[in-house]
Structure 1
């Protein structure tokens, strides 16, 4: 879960750090798509939690409130996040205003960060339960998150965003995340990411998990 959250946080950091320096209309268009792709990825992650992780944990632990607080936190940032998404989709690339954009981010980002941080202790508290049972629940959630190929924009939007924000050098590279087949980064890089290549300039990593300088950071 920490690794998935790190992807979302790196994407958010990339938006905050590069947004003030985006000026050219073409760059604004790519930046807006990057922001929309990030929202889709955040929503996809939390959708998998609500569909699979939370209800499966409730059943396994026989505790209806085991993830109650974390679920309630979703509602605190969803509205603001989707308003930010709408704002970026309707943006006039010739009159981009970073201060107005930042205000939209600031309206929900603190609640999102609080949720991402609070969820980790909740997950760690599950260590009192059978580890194999927890592993099965996590596997179901993982399959939900990566398995629905019918999801609109999965390949040309969500996968490039995830790969472009997944730092494989984290903790000396001991984690295999995201858990994709070895060929997936190549497939995304050479095929699917090409649809919106300009947007992935804003990613903090390349499609293979190698950190790179932020293209628009000051």
Structure 2
């Protein structure tokens, strides 16, 4: 990996980011909006992956413990995100559109990288115990990430297309009032999913891996909330593990 790649701003690689369907297609139906908001979450996760992958070879031993904490927070973010989708969002969306199994493709894709993700956690978790961070080996972590990066990246792009594509379902085409039901499902899930994730770790991680300049700043104020609340989530909630956030991609 070249020095230029390591210094690449915003951690937009090696895993490519997702273009939001609203920007890509110009559509604004409820499924395109829901998929676009999901894409923003996915991009924070992809930037998190990239920031770990790119920085691992250059982390000083004195910073291993903080880097491990940052990396485990990424794991927690991914795991909770998928658990919330499987147990909350997907069943409710399928019920709303009247087609059970409409999101089975996304569920099946989750399984394609969970083994590698579990290895990521199993390697780092013991090293997070007091005094064990010095045993961290960057190359070992990179090889683990390489082992699941392809299906991981595929899923985080594919799921966006799957959600946006729900607008083409016959049940959706025939029910023009469906937006009134589905819109709140996406909105409520997004809000509750973020706030349940962990105010001192996952939420700061999320906000510090948003690139607010992306797509010409279209999403600079997403998710919508009063500026003082946003500031508190990052600066007060994030203060507990403040040393971890220097590894974030968009601080």
Aligned to 2:164: 124
1:186 aligns with 2:231: yes
Preserved CA contact (<8 Å) 2:117 2:148: yes
d(CA) in 2 for partners of 1:98 and 1:32? 10
1:36 aligns with 2:65: no
Q: TM-score, normalised by structure 2?
A: 0.75
Which string of whole-angstrom CA distances, capped at 9 and with x for unpartnered residues, describes residues 92-111 of structure 1? 32232111111111222222
Question: Which of 82, 95, 103 is the matching residue for 1:67?
Answer: 103
The secondary structure found in structure 2 opposite 1:76 is coil
The secondary structure found in structure 1 opposite 2:222 is coil
- Please list every run of 5 or more consecutive structure 2 residues that lacks an aligned counterpart in the other structure: 1-37, 173-177
1:110 aligns with 2:150: yes
d(CA) in 2 for partners of 1:103 and 1:35? 15
Aligned to 1:205: 250
Aligned to 2:141: 101
User: What stretches of structure 1 move > 6 A for 4+ residues in a row?
Assistant: none
**Pairs aligned (count):** 201
Q: TM-score, normalised by structure 1?
A: 0.85
Which string of whole-angstrom CA distances, capped at 9 and with x for unpartnered residues, describes residues 175-212 of structure 1? 23233432233213432212211110000112xxxxxx
RMSD of the TM alignment (CA)?
A: 1.7
Give the CA deviation at 1:51: 1.8
d(CA) in 2 for partners of 1:180 and 1:146? 12
Preserved CA contact (<8 Å) 2:204 2:238: yes
1:82 aligns with 2:118: yes
The secondary structure found in structure 1 opposite 2:92 is helix
d(CA) in 2 for partners of 1:75 and 1:147? 25
Question: Which of 241, 244, 249 is the matching residue for 1:196?
Answer: 241
Which string of whole-angstrom CA distances, capped at 9 and with x for unpartnered residues, describes residues 98-150 of structure 1? 111111112222221111111111111122323333312212321330343xx
Give the CA deviation at 1:35: 0.5
Aligned to 1:10: 47
